Chain A
Amino acid sequence: MLTADTLNGGDLAILSLGELYKSRGYKRFKMSRFEEYDLYAQSKDFLAKEGIVTFTDPSGELMALKPDVTMSIIKNSKELDGVCEKLYYNENVYRIRSGRLLEITQAGLECMGDIDLYSSCEVISLALKSLERFGKRFAFDLSHTGIVFAVLNESSVSEQERSLLLPLIASKNLHEISSLLGGRAKKLERLLSIDPRPGIGLCELRELSDSPELYAAAGELSDICGALGEFEGLRLDFSVASELSYYNGVVFQGFVDGVPEKVLTGGRYDLLMRRMGKKGGALGFAINLSLLERMLDGDSPLDADILLVYGDSPAERVMAKVNELSGDGSRVMAASVMPKKGSFGRVVLLEGE
């Protein structure tokens, strides 16, 4: 029987997240590891700078080991009017980063269709609750691409400047933003320096909102924060913007104390839906469980709780003894002779009982 005692932290996290998503009506989407390469070729920027592991199948078709789950889910979305399709997953994805092959365990969800304020709040609150489930302090940075791009438009930023600015925004590099834009940098600098606490930050944002574009996007963010209510760890951070061209509304990322990188990324991606010929909007997020592995599984100093040394004892007797010793959930390792290496809570000699 599977119990909390028999599962490692990663397994438990997957089960716990699945329960959470199911509690809001999300259905599991289980998929193949393989996908036709063409699906990614048309939207390469979706995967940022990461490469795709490809191979040729027996019929000569170029295939990919799935680098991402979202596009496969969009491809299979049903486009039902007036409703949202709600799916969750936990899958391994495969990417090439800096010349190295990576296998990443991801869990996440996608909400596709007529996205309204409630849908946005539901997805964001599930992202927040997901982080809560890891039992550590967490930080959830919320932003809106509409706000960042409205500020860039108001600051008369050219297309060429925009491509230089986006990485500077992501790294909060105010000194280079200032040297690139000169006097035009003021509004962007103010946006990036907004207080992260939503109560204060939203007031500061309202003072900046003097164009219809910015006002509308700030209003949406304010409505979302209002509906979410108090959430420990929720922060505003407009450096979470824009590195990916398919996001077009709220965007967010999550950090868990003890893990040096962001573990959760998500946002609204209607543009990707449109590019893939689907109508409606979409919002979702993915959690990189591989990054959390070390924290979730912990480190046991022991190879097993009990070492059973059985010598020449008959197999039946060894089997019975192993069953007896492991009955309380102890991890039992049986060996005919004492191993030269290993650390065990205690040693049981079957012959000498």
Chain B
Amino acid sequence: MSDTINVALPKGRLGERVYRIFEESGLGCPGVTDPSTRRLIFENPGAGVCYFWVKPSDVAIYVERGAADIGVAGKDILLEYSPEVYELMDLRIGKCRMCVAAKKGYHDSTARTLRVATKFPAIATDYYRSLSRSIDIIKLNGSIELAPILGLSDVIVDIVETGSTLRENDLEVITTITDISARLIANKASTKFKADGISRLVLALKDRKGSI
């Protein structure tokens, strides 16, 4: 591993906000936010930092496997995949909730197995195990809200930001499982061998956390 700090940023608004903080702290890199470029990796050797954009759900994998030393990942991904990483900071951005939702007026019967549609089977399983409920997980990859409407499931476990999609589809939140926000994560080995470089980036974020 070189002493350059590799940073995995999630594509989208959230990653751009975090990058701006690094940039304002003198850790920027030309071209990172240029929408016309097709480059994948941006390095600033002077600042000892290298950025790359990845799919938000892949950030934790890049960091866990050491391809990135640090990264920004949603708490939902960290809960679902339990990567072996250090969670250094709650960035308090990208806030939303992991919720159980169902059709308005849904009556929950504990007498039968609950059918749960979700993109997050580990989170749903852990939650219902804590309640000792018998469940049938239906793993979907998108349009989760359709499942209860079409009778595919009784409830869904999904991320709720404003709740407008639920309302428009006559669904409502039954329970909030946990609050979600973006977290700064670090590879465990990198924190041993690149401690100074990682501390520099973490401090930049800590100093400017209020303005993210």
List the one stretch of B8-16, B109-117, B140-148, B188-196 in contact with chain A.
B188-196
* Complex Cα–Cα for A139 and B85 (A): 16
- Determine which of B82, B86, B190, B192 lies in contact with A172 in the assembled complex, contact meaning CB atoms within 8 Å: B86
Query: Are B189 and A255 in contact, CB atoms less than 8 angstroms apart?
Result: yes
Q: Which residue of A lies closest to B185 (CB)?
A: A171
Chain B interface size range: 10 to 19
| A323 is an interface residue with CB less than 8 A from chain B | no
Query: Are B86 and A260 in contact, CB atoms less than 8 angstroms apart?
Result: no
Knowing A137-B193, A139-B193, the reply to whether A261 touches B84 (Cβ < 8 A) is yes
Query: Are A172 and B193 in contact, CB atoms less than 8 angstroms apart?
Result: no
- A262: which B residues are within 8 A, CB to CB? 188-189
Of A171, A173, A257, most B-chain CB atoms within 10 Å: A171
* Complex Cα–Cα for A260 and B90 (A): 23
| A346 is an interface residue with CB less than 8 A from chain B | no
Query: Are A259 and B86 in contact, CB atoms less than 8 angstroms apart?
Result: no
Chain A nearest CB, measured from B76 CB (Å):
14
- B67: which A residues are within 8 A, CB to CB? 260
Query: Are A255 and B188 in contact, CB atoms less than 8 angstroms apart?
Result: yes
| A258 is an interface residue with CB less than 8 A from chain B | yes
- A171: which B residues are within 8 A, CB to CB? 85-87
Residues 79-98 of B, flagged 1 when their CB comes within 8 A of A and 0 if not, give 00010111111100000000
Q: Which residue of A lies closest to B189 (CB)?
A: A255
Query: Are B193 and A257 in contact, CB atoms less than 8 angstroms apart?
Result: yes
Q: Which residue of A lies closest to B63 (CB)?
A: A260
Q: Which of A156-175 contact B (CB under 8 A)?
A: 167, 171-173, 175
Chain B nearest CB, measured from A331 CB (Å):
30
Knowing A255-B188, A260-B187, A261-B188, the reply to whether A175 touches B193 (Cβ < 8 A) is no
Main secondary structure of the interface of B (DSSP, over half): mixed
| B65 is an interface residue with CB less than 8 A from chain A | yes
| B66 is an interface residue with CB less than 8 A from chain A | yes
Interface size on A, residues (CB 8 A): 19
Residues 259-275 of A, flagged 1 when their CB comes within 8 A of B and 0 if not, give 11110000000000000
Chain A nearest CB, measured from B42 CB (Å):
22
Q: Which residue of B lies closest to A139 (CB)?
A: B192
Q: Which residue of A lies closest to B88 (CB)?
A: A172
Query: Are B193 and A260 in contact, CB atoms less than 8 angstroms apart?
Result: no
Residues 223-260 of A, flagged 1 when their CB comes within 8 A of B and 0 if not, give 00000000000010001000000000000000111111
- A259: which B residues are within 8 A, CB to CB? 66, 189
- A167: which B residues are within 8 A, CB to CB? 82
Query: Are A261 and B189 in contact, CB atoms less than 8 angstroms apart?
Result: yes
Q: Which residue of A lies closest to B68 (CB)?
A: A260
B residues lining the A interface (CB < 8 Å): 1, 64-67, 82, 84-90, 187-190, 192-193
